[in-house]
A and B are shown apart, each in its own frame.
Chain A
Amino acid sequence: MWGFTRAGKPRKNGEGQTYWTLPGSVHPPENKTQSLVNAIQAMPLVREYVVPLNQHIGAFALPCVDVGQHVLKGELIAEAAGFISAPAHAPTSGEVIAIEERQVPHASGLTTSCIIIRADGKDQWRPREPWDDLQSHRVADILARVQRSGVTGLGGASFPTAVKLSSDRDHIDTLIVNGTECEPYITADHSLMRERAAAVYAGINVVDHLYHFNRILVAIEDNKPDAIVAMRQAIPDHLKERVEVRTFPTRYPSGGEKQLIYILTGREVPSGGLPLDIGMLCHNVGTLAALSDAVFHDEPLLRRITTVTGEAVARPGNYDTLIGTPMRELCRVAGVNTDKADRVIMGGPMMGFALPHTDLPVVKATNCLLIPTGTELPLPGVAQPCIRCGLCEQACPASLLPQQLMWFAQAKELDKAEDHRLFDCIECGACAYVCPSNIPLVQYYRAAKGQIRQEQAEHKQAERARVRFEARQARLDREAAEKEAKRQERAAAAARANAAKLAAAASDSTDVSDAVERAKSKHPDKPTAATPPALTTEQLTAKLSNLTGRVAKAESKLAEARADAPEQVKALETTVNKLQEQIKKVQADLARAEEQN
């Protein structure tokens, strides 16, 4: 309220419900009505599906089918690899025709391993085993079913849902159902709530069965009145006590998990923490509907609702699309006029990214394809100098100082950027949206974060190398010490043996001094016994050439190490020095030998 601190005070909406206002946030034109004219339409079957193996955060799935193999709809085609991972399933029945690298929707034009399935047109399901209730199943079985279903967060980040649901269940008392959908243009969640509210509640049931929440807050922005009504009417009786459908003013980015938690409860997720640190769990409505399909109908995540919209689209709307559908097919069905478009954006105008082309598959995170005309979303003008007007700061929902962060990023003062909470930036783009100088602020933050992460990785690597080197040094020292100890032991043993011999000799001869003389003559000069016996000139020459060769080798290794492996330099230097000392010795011996000759 004062503008220089968090709002802090609860407010009431038109219905008397409480909400907290975000400190910053913006309100770009919503543009949601275009895609809400019609009900959700099923995208017809196409000839070929491309299923990428990493549609989620975490480890790649591993293919478990062979090329040429016939698969049924819903059949597992790639297994999760590791804890944070999700499996992939055949979106329809058909033949696996290839497992190869294909370009996938990613800001950097990344390619990744994909399983390509040619549809047989029958869309034939694998045998399924639906459940009628949850009570007759063990929690572990439910979780295993969720894990096997490959459900990931459908809000955008694609975090494997099974992992989220296996978090500590003791301290979590609130479920937040995210139906906010604050990005302009996107209506996938809106249409889902409007038409399939029951499925969302079925999903809520599953999560509630696992956690037994004290309260369940369904959060919807007030620009979706029909979704609000539908979600209120569909509340099942047994949840009526605990479910509250909360509405609040339409602002961007209310749908960010942390922002939403603040709006609903006035509480903040600690920096670097998760909602569960303050006893909350947050799920997107699409995820919950998918969860219900997975648990009750044994349907793995094969499809999602994708909004296709923008002025270059003849039939904007929401399409129930199988994962792996080529985007160009979706564009064809929606009537995209490619002549009018200059961009295809996956996601919304605020956080989505422009795709290089439409020969890419729809993935679990494809909530929207936005194909605007040049006049609809004009390109930003040339960036001008920052005049520190502070509009970005007024807009930042995380109370950061975007312009300071930009200066720091520009000047590569990464420590200062971190100190100014760079990593609390959620990259919502509100700052860049309001910037009068058209500065691509978010790009600066992404670049700076990338640099910091890289530096940290390099630092870690150097640290590992240092530890490795030190361990090796310690091992060498230990070995040398052991050798020395053994040598001393041997020497001691020899001395004992000698003494025994002497004693024996002494007992043989009464003249001890004789024995001592004998022993002395056996070892003419004991102190120099360690020096190797004199070698012939030829032997010395051979040794010298051998040593020279070894020095040359060691020196070349040292040069390499100076360039690539600084941690080895010291050890190699010691080697070279030792070898050179030996050479000097041998040379001296040789000189002496030659003199004697």
Chain B
Amino acid sequence: MALLTITSPHTVSNTSVQKIMLTVWAATLPGFLALVVFFGWGYLINAILAVTTALVAEAVIVRLRRRPVWTCLSDGSAMLTAWLLALALPPFAPWWVTVVGVLAAIVFAKHLYGGLGHNPFNPAMVGYALLLISFPLEMTTRWATPDALLLDGHSFYIAWTAVFGDLNPLQIDAFTMATPLDTYKYDIAALTQAEVLQQGIFAKGYRAYGWEWVSLLYLIGGVVLIFRKVITWHTPVALLLTLSVMALLFSWDGDTRVPLSLHLLGGATMLGAFFIATDPVSSATSNRGKLVYGAGIGLLIYVIRTWGNYPDAVAFAVLLMNFAAPLIDYYTRPRAYGENTNQREGL
């Protein structure tokens, strides 16, 4: 009998990278469906375009790096990166914006650093930040009103033309200049809270119609991920708590600054808290480290949104904390069994 001599353990649980990626992807689906329902086909078109681009780019670069193409494609990581980026992009972003963003994420942020597991920065957010800096017009004026799909029978045509044609967004009623966060921030300088909330984007008595549903569904998806032990609670809870504390401290007056409810439900906060900041590769590793890391992101989100010039700060906050992750890891190593931390070096 020819026996195999492999080392222990001889049994493994049935997790796999692919399963983890697919679970995260599945958890975004409710929020994604809400996006499509409220803001139109643009999100679906973007998502398909982004994922296709990502798979092709991944295949080419993996081939160039002489790695097994199918193994890399099937782990689902490229697909997930593109998917998360597509969720963050404006629904009517021109096709080349999406393609450039995905290429930056896959080729530069991921593979030039050594591929899966080696990227110090969150690839999707690198792509997003690059686009926001390079194409501010396309990234801030291509958002849809909440009724894009529900009310307009021609919405697929509009979305298709906006993405692939040369449709000027300003000619179409279904377009809006910006997200609720952005609108509120700039309008509150001149108007009262009641006046701001009368605008179309806040209509129907909601704080941010459509966005609220999307955010809540992301929240539910995120909680499912925690219970399925794909992510731990530390990063999102720390992030949301810090952001809330900041908002309560500095935005208690809704007539001067964006209120807490809009911070939590009006932008990419939930997506960022549960799906972006929890990217294991680029975040802090220990549970205590994740608390610091998440709190840092929450703090930065509020600071950038309030005193910075960018409408939604999740990408920059995440990237900045990516820089800090190794340092956080160094100072938050858990105490090992039987270890006397007083004797630890360097602290």
Which listed residue (B6, B115, B291) contacts A385, Cβ 8 A?
A: B115
Binds B, one of A87-95, A161-169, A417-425: A417-425
- A344, closest chain B residue (CB): B3
B136 contacts the other chain (Cβ, under 8 Å)?
no
A354 contacts the other chain (Cβ, under 8 Å)?
yes
B229 touches A391 (CB 8 A): yes
Known A-B contacts A3-B232, A384-B17, A437-B17; A357 and B10 likewise in contact (beta carbons under 8 Å): no
B3 touches A399 (CB 8 A): no
B8 contacts the other chain (Cβ, under 8 Å)?
yes
B185 contacts the other chain (Cβ, under 8 Å)?
no
Which residues of B sit under 8 angstroms from A353, Cβ to Cβ?
A: 5, 7-8
Binds B, one of A63-71, A268-276, A504-512: A268-276
- A389-405, CB < 8 A from B: 389-391, 393-394, 397-401, 403-404
- A362-417, CB < 8 A from B: 370, 372, 377, 379-382, 384-391, 393-394, 397-401, 403-404
Known A-B contacts A351-B8, A386-B117, A388-B117; A269 and B338 likewise in contact (beta carbons under 8 Å): yes
- A178-228, CB < 8 A from B: 184
B288 contacts the other chain (Cβ, under 8 Å)?
yes
Which listed residue (A271, A272, A389, A435) contacts B280, Cβ 8 A?
A: A389
Q: How many chain B residues touch A (Cβ–Cβ < 8 Å)?
A: 49
Which residues of B sit under 8 angstroms from A335, Cβ to Cβ?
A: none
B64 contacts the other chain (Cβ, under 8 Å)?
no
A388 touches B285 (CB 8 A): yes
- B1, closest chain A residue (CB): A338
Q: How far is the CA of A380 from the CA of B20 in the complex (A)?
A: 17
Binds A, one of B297-305, B307-315, B329-337: B329-337
- B318-347, CB < 8 A from A: 329, 333-340, 344-346
Which listed residue (B13, B230, B338) contacts A268, Cβ 8 A?
A: B338
Nearest CB of A to B287, in Å: 4
A6 touches B335 (CB 8 A): yes
Chain B 103-132 per-residue mask, 1 if CB under 8 angstroms from chain A, else 0: 000000000000111100000000000000
Chain A 314-354 per-residue mask, 1 if CB under 8 angstroms from chain B, else 0: 00000000000000000000000011011111010111111
Q: How far is the CA of A382 from the CA of B18 in the complex (A)?
A: 13
Q: How far is the CA of A2 from the CA of B20 in the complex (A)?
A: 23
A436 contacts the other chain (Cβ, under 8 Å)?
yes
Which residues of B sit under 8 angstroms from A419, Cβ to Cβ?
A: 344-346
B75 contacts the other chain (Cβ, under 8 Å)?
yes
- B37-75, CB < 8 A from A: 71, 75
Which listed residue (B5, B118, B229) contacts A356, Cβ 8 A?
A: B5
B281 touches A4 (CB 8 A): no
Q: How far is the CA of A109 from the CA of B3 in the complex (A)?
A: 13
Q: How far is the CA of A222 from the CA of B115 in the complex (A)?
A: 45
Which listed residue (A29, A258, A352) contacts B10, Cβ 8 A?
A: A352
Q: Which of B6, B334, B336, B339 has the most CB of A within 10 A?
A: B336
- A331, closest chain B residue (CB): B1
A433 contacts the other chain (Cβ, under 8 Å)?
yes
Which residues of A sit under 8 angstroms from B4, Cβ to Cβ?
A: 342-343, 354, 379
Nearest CB of B to A478, in Å: 41
Which listed residue (A2, A6, A380) contacts B12, Cβ 8 A?
A: A380
Q: Which of A384, A389, A421 has the most CB of B within 10 A?
A: A389
Which residues of B sit under 8 angstroms from A344, Cβ to Cβ?
A: 3
Which residues of A sit under 8 angstroms from B285, Cβ to Cβ?
A: 388, 390, 393, 401, 403-404
Which residues of B sit under 8 angstroms from A404, Cβ to Cβ?
A: 285, 329, 333
A28 contacts the other chain (Cβ, under 8 Å)?
yes
Which residues of B sit under 8 angstroms from A429, Cβ to Cβ?
A: 8-9
B329 touches A262 (CB 8 A): no
Which residues of B sit under 8 angstroms from A358, Cβ to Cβ?
A: 1
B281 touches A388 (CB 8 A): yes
Binds B, one of A138-146, A299-307, A438-446, A494-502: A438-446
B234 contacts the other chain (Cβ, under 8 Å)?
yes
Which listed residue (A29, A273, A446) contacts B338, Cβ 8 A?
A: A273
Which residues of A sit under 8 angstroms from B344, Cβ to Cβ?
A: 419
B280 touches A381 (CB 8 A): no
B10 touches A349 (CB 8 A): yes
B8 touches A3 (CB 8 A): no
Could you pull out 12 A-B pairs where Cβ atoms are within 8 angstroms? A3-B234, A5-B334, A351-B8, A352-B8, A391-B229, A401-B285, A419-B346, A421-B336, A436-B20, A440-B7, A442-B7, A442-B9
Apart from A349-B8, A354-B3, 10 more pairs, CB < 8 Å: A4-B291, A26-B13, A184-B11, A259-B337, A270-B338, A271-B336, A356-B3, A387-B17, A442-B8, A443-B7
Top 10 nearest A-B pairs (CB, nearest first) are A4-B287, A429-B9, A385-B117, A436-B15, A4-B288, A271-B338, A421-B336, A349-B11, A398-B337, A338-B1
* Chain A residues with a Cβ under 8 A of chain B: 2-6, 23, 26, 28-29, 107, 109, 184, 258-259, 262, 268-273, 338-339, 341-345, 347, 349-358, 370, 372, 377, 379-382, 384-391, 393-394, 397-401, 403-404, 419-421, 424, 427, 429, 432-438, 440, 442-443, 446
